[in-house]
Amino acid sequence: IAGLTADARLLCNFMRQECLDSRFVFDRPLPVSRLVSLIGS
């Protein structure tokens, strides 16, 4: 269970950063499909 918390924290930070980057560069939110694709790769 301890590893699950660390993995979830890492994923949350990654997703947050990707969304912020998209907002900064393109001035629009990151589509969910793109976020899922980034996580899967």
Alpha carbon distance 28, 8 (integer Å): 25
Indicate if the pLDDT at residue 1 is higher than 90: no
- Global pTM? 0.81
- CA gap 32, 40 in Å, rounded: 12
Q: How far does CA 41 lie from the centroid of its chain?
A: 12
Q: Within a 13 Å sphere around the CA of 28, how many CA atoms are in the beta-carbon half? A: 4
Taking CB atoms within 8 Å and a gap of at least 24, the contacts of 32-41 are 38/14, 39/11, 39/14, 39/15
8-36 confidence digits (pLDDT tens)? 999 999 999 999 999 999 999 999 999 99
The pLDDT score that the predictor gives to residue 11 is 95
